[in-house]
């Protein structure tokens, strides 16, 4: 014994002796410190001496039940084992038996002893340390002679990982499993294999005895729903592929040629009473071809169960599952043939994983396997993919019809991977597969079910005002999927459609979709055709065929309204629509003319059946049908834009066929149709090489005007013509104005027809757009200089002006008295003046009035026509009419001779609108009166005071009591009454100032606005009342000052200013503060008094 070993022995001996006698916590701590201080060489030599007292006290009859002391002793043993290489076989067996008995209890469920979790953790860690630091020779001997003991340790470890709840304990137990099966990372190389062939052989034979139970328990650990975190699942998968691929590796499968002797031996074994039938693997000789085949079939169940982890939320679990599958493909390709398609499925599915670490690895693994596998194996794999493809297509609707988004995405990833693999290479295998056993029909039916689109009541929303120049939508809000509930699922499904469109069989897939579309007009079919035909690398003929289908009249034009019970038009109103409207024709067979003949007519008339008159030939029977029709129209419109982007320059021949149809959708009242048209027109603009939509329209102006005029001549096309015209005007500039004059004048005439009144709203929309464009094209109408109001107020200015006028009158009276003439002189002067008038004649030439600008003439015509629609019963038409008049009258500001007659003409129907119960209409009427007052001033003052203002006053006075104490959270603020109060109080100030109301009428207006100065009223109404009184102070300071003085009714004294002309007395009562606190703050705000 050398000196260092002696010194080490001298240090450790007293501690070991005392532990042998009676172990304590302090002694174990000192023992552990000495273990860390001693050199490894000394520990290696003294390991048996140091471990002996601990092993002795860990025996069941020594300190049984003292779990804390046992834990400390086990931890001390682990510290020693971590620092040495175990060289004593007997000591190794004794330690293994002691720890196994400590953790094992055959009487309990799972045979896990009822000890503390801390002690179980220490035992697992100590067993792992023992097996990792065992010398190779001892390991070989132990596996050969004590395999049952190792199997028992593995059983305890794996069941502890399955049944325990503590995360650290689960991980330690799995680590122990790897150590006892010699598959631990410290015992294997970079390829997870044992480098020593002798040791590998005995390990594989040992694992062959416990493989089914071990792998199935690891599967239970990985699939447990209560696992604390992802680390346990990752380690369970790691242990699975290390043990599985170590045992089932193809290199253990001996391939020898079958001879006649083998057949004779097989027959003899079958006749033997000890013949083992299929299904019992326990008696089969291990590592034979039969055993590998049977084990491969059993292990398929395990792999099939692990497939669900492909949708796990943590990417490290998915990555470890991909490693497992690749190792099975590359190392167990022959021994686990039943599991190969599933492993390939998992790699294909995870190739589309959102995490690049997972997707890149799976893509590499998939290509690596297919490139290195033999042609026979690749063919078998492709056959498996072919079988699974139809299984996936059949199960896709069922998988998508659940709430698990991750599972949906996995299924779509799998389908995408199948398509990618099967259409790679020449010729494409996908074409052959789908051509057999109605493959195209199955594919299309599955895709239709997967892309089911929801119909919503909001799809039928209409916008009274919409902006066609707004940015196009980036998404498709009209397309809400029932099953694809996440953006990732939608993108993946679109990518699948793109791949199908770019495949060789894209034409055949489109043929199937078109045939199905001819049978039933499902909106899902339109969506699929859009995505398949617009694929970037698809054949251009796909897009052309889709366009030809979409622009057919019976496909493009669908009824969007639910049929109502309006009475049909009589012969006095117009002609029978079912005769001259080709969209209303229906096919009718008329048999019985003579035997063997049949006549087909399109007039809905037969010889035996009288004419059946349809009240609504272009309407939907149900609301659901209308919703699905509008979705289909949106998809058709979007599809034209997608086809244009695909065809680029080749779309030019279709431009004149489709552009008006798209612009018609842009001008639609339906919000979704408008958005889809906006998206399509911008796509067409890009495809045709224009920077703006206006440039696209300008290059086709002649065509537009001709098309609009042609459609206006046909009553059933009037609606589309008006929608197109509206959009063209909003997109264009003044260069198109000359084209518009004739069209608008023709519309003014046609809008008088009773039948055309059915599309009155569209006519009004065109008129409104035209007037808006006038403002846009002639900016001088919108940039009028406004004279700022004079804010300086002098209280005595009226009095001083009165005194000055009196003095001037006295001076004139004095002058007239000095220049007085007699009656005779005045008579002579009159006669002379008459003679001069007779002799004198005016030879000046009167200048002719210049003609009105063309746009002003058209504006006057529009206003005259719209005045007739002020009293219309339809709310939308009435609102739009008031907006048009409010927009058009300011254009006539400089043409008073034309303005005032129109004002007079519209007054009578306008006054009746103030009696309407609809708040929006009354608000529009108030706005129009304010506009007329601004333009015509005193011309309508007396009529306004007599006919309009009393109605406004009466309503405001009644509503003042209702709006008291209605705070910001009150439902009253959302009521029509509150909206009327806002609009009426806003209009009072401009009406008072612009109409120059006399003091009596002004006093009535102030009496009406006075209650709204109360702080009990809503704050917006208080603010409007304050603004009204401020405006009246600017207009007539004296009247407002006196009114507020009487209203405040206080006893404060107001000292008058000094003046050299008159002497003023002190006034009792001021308008600057109110006695009531309810009004005081707003009164001070009017005069800006703090």
Asked if the model's pLDDT at residue 786 lies above 50, the reply is no
- Structure-block tokens of residue 274: 């000890």
Q: Which residue has the tokens 């499904």?
A: 493
Would you place residue 797 in the very low, low, confident or very high pLDDT band (cuts 50, 70, 90)? low
Q: For the chain, give the percent of residues with pLDDT over 70.
A: 80
Own/partner long-range contacts of 871-875 (Cβ < 8 Å, ≥24 apart): 871/909, 871/912, 871/913, 872/760, 874/760, 874/761, 875/918, 875/920, 875/921
**In this predicted structure, what is the pLDDT of residue 65?**
65
Cβ pair 987, 936 in contact under 8 A: no
Query: What's the mean per-residue pLDDT of the chain?
Result: 81
> What pLDDT, on a 0 to 100 scale, did the predictor assign at position 549?
94
Distance CA 945, CA 997 (A): 8
The answer, yes or no, to whether residue 123 has pLDDT greater than 50, is: yes
Q: Is the pLDDT of residue 729 over 80?
A: no
CB 176 within 8 A of CB 239: no
> What end-to-end distance do the CA atoms of the chain give, in Å?
105
Cα distance between residue 1016 and residue 1027, in whole Å: 17
Ranked by mean pLDDT, which of 369-378, 385-394, 881-890, 967-976 comes out on top?
881-890
pLDDT of residue 176: 92
Poorest-confidence range of 258-262, 660-664, 841-845? 841-845
* Structure confidence at residue 804 (pLDDT): 65
Q: Is the pTM of this model over 0.75?
A: no
Higher pLDDT, 651 or 587: 651
Among 227, 246, 226, which residue's Cα sits nearest to residue 235?
227
Rg of the chain over all Cα atoms, to the nearest angstrom: 48
600: enclosing H helix or E strand: strand 598-601
Least confident of 132-146, 575-589, 689-703: 575-589
Longest dimension (CA), the chain: 169
Give me 333's structure tokens.
Answer: 């390709």
Q: Which of 605, 564, 570 is closest to 584 using CA atoms?
A: 605
Among residues 620, 632, 617, which one has the least CA distance to residue 560? 620
- Cα–Cα distances in angstroms (integers) from residue 85 to residues 40, 44, 143, 407, 592, in the given order: 10, 7, 17, 48, 108
Q: What are 337's two structure tokens?
A: 């043939």
* pLDDT number for residue 782: 54
Distant-in-sequence, close-in-space partners of 924: CB < 8 Å, separation ≥ 6: 878, 879, 882, 883, 886, 913
pLDDT tens digits, one per residue of 518-539 = 998 899 999 999 999 999 999 9
> Residue 748: is its pLDDT beyond 80?
no
Asked whether 170 and 161 are in contact (CB, 8 A), the reply is yes
Asked if 179 contacts 131 with a C-beta cutoff of 8 angstroms, the reply is: yes
Q: What is the mean pLDDT of residues 735-762?
A: 67
Residue partners of 425: CB distance under 8 A and separation at least 6: none
Rounded Cα gap, residues 1038 and 794, in angstroms:
10
Q: What is the DSSP letter of 611?
A: P
Instruction: Flag whether pLDDT at 236 surpasses 90.
Output: yes
Comparing 189-203, 298-312, 761-775, which segment has the lowest mean pLDDT? 761-775
User: Could you tell me the pLDDT band of residue 591, with boundaries at 50, 70 and 90?
Assistant: very low
Distances (CA, A) of 987 to 55, 891, 990: 100, 21, 6
Q: Which residues pair with 134 in a beta bridge?
A: 86
Position 280 pLDDT exceeds 50: no
Residues making up the chain, counted from first to last: 1090
pLDDT tens digits along 382-434:
777 778 888 888 888 898 888 888 888 888 988 888 888 887 766 778 888 88
Handedness of CA 569, 573, 575, 581 (dihedral sign): negative
At 1022, phi and psi to the nearest 5?
Answer: -60, -45
In tens, the pLDDT along 101-115 reads 888 878 787 778 888
Tokens standing for residue 878? 């009435």
453 pLDDT higher than 80: yes
Q: Residue 63 — pLDDT band, cuts 50, 70, 90? A: low
At residue 490, the pLDDT reads 92
User: Is a pLDDT exceeding 70 seen at residue 954?
Assistant: yes
Summarize the confidence of residues 234-248 as an average pLDDT. 92
Say which residue the tokens 């129907």 belong to: 909
User: How much is the average pLDDT of 546-555?
Assistant: 92
Q: Tell whether the model's pLDDT for residue 812 goes beyond 70.
A: no
Sign for the CA dihedral angle at 457, 459, 465, 470 comes to positive
Inter-residue contact 505 to 496 (CB < 8 Å): no
Tell me what pLDDT residue 708 has: 74
Whole-angstrom Cα distance, residue 536 to residue 785?
A: 55
**How would you write 363-401 as a 3-class SS string?**
HHHHHHHHHHCCHHHHHHHHHHHHHHHHHHHHHHHHHHC
């Amino acid at each position: 014994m050398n000196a260092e070993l002696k010194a080490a022995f001298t240090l450790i001996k007293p501690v070991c002796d005392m532990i042998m006698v009676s172990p304590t916590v302090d002694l174990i701590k000192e023992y552990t410190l000495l273990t860390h201080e001693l050199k490894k060489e000394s520990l290696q030599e003294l390991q048996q001496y140091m471990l002996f007292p601990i092993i002795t006290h860990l025996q069941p009859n020594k300190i049984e039940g003292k779990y804390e002391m046992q834990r400390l002793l086990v931890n001390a043993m682990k510290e020693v084992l971590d620092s040495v290489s175990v060289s004593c076989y007997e000591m190794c067996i004794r330690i293994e038996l002691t720890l196994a008995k400590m953790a094992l209890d055959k009487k309990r469920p799972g045979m896990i002893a009822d000890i503390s979790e801390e002690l179980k953790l220490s035992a697992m860690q100590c067993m792992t340390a023992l097996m990792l630091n065992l010398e190779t020779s001892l390991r070989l001997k132990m596996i050969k002679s004590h395999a049952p003991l190792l199997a028992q340790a593995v059983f305890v470890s794996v069941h502890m990982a399955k049944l325990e709840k503590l995360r650290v304990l689960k991980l330690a137990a799995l680590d122990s499993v790897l150590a006892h099966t010699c598959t631990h990372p410290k015992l294997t190389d970079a390829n997870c294999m044992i480098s020593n062939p002798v040791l590998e052989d005995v390990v594989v034979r040992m694992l062959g005895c416990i493989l089914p139970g071990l792998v199935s328990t690891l599967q239970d650990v990985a699939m447990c729903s209560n696992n604390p975190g992802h680390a346990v699942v990752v380690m369970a998968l790691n242990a699975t592929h290390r043990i599985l691929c170590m045992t089932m590796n193809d290199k253990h499968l001996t391939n020898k040629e079958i001879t006649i002797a083998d057949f004779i031996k097989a027959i003899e074994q079958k006749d033997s009473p000890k013949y083992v039938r299929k299904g019992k693997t326990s008696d089969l000789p291990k590592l034979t071809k039969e055993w590998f085949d049977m084990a491969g079939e059993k292990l398929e169940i395990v792999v099939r169960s692990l497939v669900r982890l492909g949708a796990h939320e943590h990417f490290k679990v998915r990555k470890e599952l991909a490693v497992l599958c690749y190792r099975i493909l590359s190392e167990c390709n022959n021994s686990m043939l039943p599991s190969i398609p599933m492993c390939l499925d998992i790699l294909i599915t995870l190739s589309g994983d959102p995490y690049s670490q997972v997707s890149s690895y799976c893509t590499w693994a998939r290509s690596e396997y297919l490139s290195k596998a033999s042609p026979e194996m690749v063919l078998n794999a492709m056959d498996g993919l072919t079988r699974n493809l139809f299984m996936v297509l059949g199960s896709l609707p069922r998988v998508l019809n659940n709430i698990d988004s991750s599972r949906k995405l996995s299924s779509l990833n799998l389908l995408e991977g199948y398509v990618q693999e099967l259409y790679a290479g020449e010729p494409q295998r996908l074409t052959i597969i789908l051509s057999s056993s109605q493959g195209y029909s199955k594919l299309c039916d599955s895709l239709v079910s997967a892309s089911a689109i929801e119909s919503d009541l909001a799809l039928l929303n209409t916008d009274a005002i919409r902006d066609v120049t707004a940015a196009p939508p980036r998404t498709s809000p009209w397309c809400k999927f029932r099953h694809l509930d996440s953006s990732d699922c939608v993108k993946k499904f679109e990518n699948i459609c793109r791949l199908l469109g770019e495949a060789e069989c894209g034409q055949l897939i489109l043929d199937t979709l078109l045939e199905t579309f001819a049978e039933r007009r499902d909106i899902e079919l339109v969506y699929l055709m859009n995505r398949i035909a617009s694929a970037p690398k698809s054949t251009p003929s796909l897009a052309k065929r889709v366009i030809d289908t979409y622009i057919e009249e019976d496909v493009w034009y669908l009824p969007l309204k639910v049929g109502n019970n309006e009475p049909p038009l009589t012969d006095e109103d117009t002609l029978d629509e079912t005769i001259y409207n080709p969209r209303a024709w229906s096919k009718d067979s008329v048999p019985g003319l003579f035997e063997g003949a049949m006549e087909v007519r399109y007039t809905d008339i037969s010889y035996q059946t009288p004419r059946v008159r349809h009240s609504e030939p272009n309407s939907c029977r149900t609301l659901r049908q209308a919703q699905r029709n509008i979705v289909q129209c949106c998809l058709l419109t979007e599809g034209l834009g997608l086809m244009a982007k695909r065809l680029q320059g080749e779309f030019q021949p279709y431009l004149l066929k489709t552009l008006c149809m798209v612009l018609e959708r842009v001008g639609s009242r339906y919000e979704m149709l408008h958005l889809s048209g906006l998206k399509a027109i911008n796509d067409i603009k890009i495809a045709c090489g224009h920077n703006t939509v206006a440039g696209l329209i300008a290059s086709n102006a002649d065509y537009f005007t001709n098309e609009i005029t042609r459609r206006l001549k046909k009553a059933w096309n009037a609606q589309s013509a008006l929608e197109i015209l509206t959009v063209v005007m909003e997109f264009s500039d003044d260069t198109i104005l000359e084209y518009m004059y004739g069209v608008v004048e023709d519309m003014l005439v046609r809008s008088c027809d009773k039948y055309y009144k059915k599309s009155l709203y569209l006519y009004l929309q065109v008129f409104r757009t035209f007037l808006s464009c006038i403002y846009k094209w002639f900016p001088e109408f919108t940039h009028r200089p406004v004279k700022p109001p004079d804010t300086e107020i002098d209280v005595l200015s009226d009095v001083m002006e009165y005194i000055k006028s009196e003095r001037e009158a006295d001076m004139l009276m004095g002058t007239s008295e000095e220049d007085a003439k007699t009656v005779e002189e005045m008579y002579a002067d009159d006669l002379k003046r008459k003679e001069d008038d007779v002799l004198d004649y005016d030879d000046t030439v009167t200048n002719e009035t210049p003609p009105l600008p063309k746009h002003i003439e058209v504006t006057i015509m529009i206003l005259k026509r719209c005045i007739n629609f002020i009293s219309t019963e339809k709310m939308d038409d009435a609102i739009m009419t008031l907006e048009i008049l409010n927009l058009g009258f300011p254009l006539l500001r400089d043409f008073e001779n034309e303005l005032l007659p129109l004002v007079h003409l519209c007054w009578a129907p306008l006054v009746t609108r103030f009696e309407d119960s609809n708040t929006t209409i009354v608000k529009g009427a108030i706005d129009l009166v304010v506009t007329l007052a601004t333009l015509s001033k005193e011309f309508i003052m007396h009529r306004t005071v007599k006919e309009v203002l009393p109605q406004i006053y009466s309503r405001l006075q009644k509503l003042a009591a209702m709006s008291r104490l209605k705070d910001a959270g009150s439902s009253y603020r959302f009521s029509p009454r509150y909206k009327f109060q806002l609009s009426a109080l806003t209009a009072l100030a401009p009406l008072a100032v612009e109409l120059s109301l006399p003091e009596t009428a002004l006093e009535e207006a102030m009496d009406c606005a006075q209650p709204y100065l109360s702080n009990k009223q809503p704050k917006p109404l208080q603010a409007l009342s304050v603004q009204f009184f401020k405006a009246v102070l600017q207009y007539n300071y004296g009247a407002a000052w006196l009114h507020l003085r009487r209203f405040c009714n206080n006893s404060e004294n107001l000292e008058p200013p000094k003046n050299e002309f008159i002497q003023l007395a002190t006034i009792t009562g001021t308008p600057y503060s109110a006695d009531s606190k309810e009004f005081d703050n707003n009164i001070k705000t009017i005069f800006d008094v703090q």
